Amino acid sequence: MFELVKKSRGAVLSWAWFFIKPAIYIFCFWFALALGLRVGSPDPSGPPYLLWLCAGIIPWFFMQDMLNAGVDVMHRYPYLVNKIKFPLSGISSIFTLATMIVQLMLMVALFVIYFACGMGFDVYLLQVPVLLALMFMFWDAVSILCSQLSAISKDFANLIHAMGTPFFWLSGVLFPVQDIDVGWIQTILDFNPITFFVTAFRNAFYDKTWFWEDTPMCVGFLVAFAVTVVVMAIIYRKFNEEVADVL
């Protein structure tokens, strides 16, 4: 709660900014793509393009926060590192949980858009809580891993921050990855966790399929998840005692 209050402190609209900023981004992309470039819905006979766009871009907002502040969270709370004996992994988990609370609020907005588009409740929506849990666990592991390295080297944090824009444009947030007919690119995207979550949420809200039906993408995500956890454990064990001295 302190983290959430800290984000909205000093603003007259306070918590409303958690919705206003994403709404502005969504409107700009919808206007540019649907009206400007005339990019239509992947299924012309299906729900509006706005639902397809929101189903992918709202999960991206969570991942964007994790790639920005989440990978350098040790510098956000240095007093918990060098003045209080606090588990360093807990710092990342606290930030991830606070960011997930904002994501849950945006998910409520997504459901409002979903029902406003004339869609009804079905069994495919039951995979949404599973995807949210997977997203929390994976990005918490990423935060624990990267925050250790960012505390040791500021260059690493700058590298991850610089990759935020390429991740957005190359991971299928604004286009259906299934339309790419280049084999090696599809293989790379299968191991991209951002692509996995964006596609999986669209499967639940728009395409009405189970995310595990895309076997290559699920296998790729599980491999990426396993590698992240293993590397996280190694890095955490190696640098856990050094982070406080560096900060």
| Straight-line distance from the first to the last Cα atom of the chain, in angstroms, rounded to the nearest whole number | 25
What is the C-alpha separation between 170 and 140, in angstroms, rounded? 22
DSSP SS3 for 132: helix
On whether the CB atoms of residues 29 and 174 are closer than 8 A, the answer is: yes
What's the pTM? 0.90
Provide the angle, in degrees to the nearest 10, between the axes of the packed helices 49-68 and 154-162. 170
The pLDDT, as a whole number, for residue 91 is 87
Answer for the pair 76, 150: CB distance below 8 angstroms, yes or no. Answer: no
d(C-alpha 216, C-alpha 210), whole Å: 13
Quickly tell me which residue has 């209080």 as its tokens: 84
HSE-CB at 72 with a 13 A cutoff on CA atoms is 17
Tell me what pLDDT residue 14 has: 64
Please tell me the predicted confidence (pLDDT) of residue 35.
80
The tens place of each residue's pLDDT in the chain, 247 residues long, gives 777 777 666 665 666 777 888 899 999 988 888 887 777 667 667 788 899 999 999 999 999 999 998 888 888 777 777 777 778 888 899 899 999 999 999 999 999 999 998 898 999 999 999 999 999 999 999 999 999 888 888 888 889 988 989 999 999 999 888 888 888 898 999 999 999 999 999 999 999 999 999 999 999 999 999 999 999 999 988 887 777 777 6
Q: Note the pLDDT of residue 241.
A: 75
DSSP 235-246: HHHHHTTTHHHH
Residue 127: per-residue pLDDT: 96
The Cα–Cα gap between 72 and 164 comes to: 13
Q: What is the pLDDT of residues 69-78, one digit of tens each?
A: 888 888 877 7
pLDDT in tens, 182-239: 888 989 999 999 999 999 999 999 999 999 999 999 999 999 999 999 999 999 888 8
- pLDDT score recorded for residue 180: 85
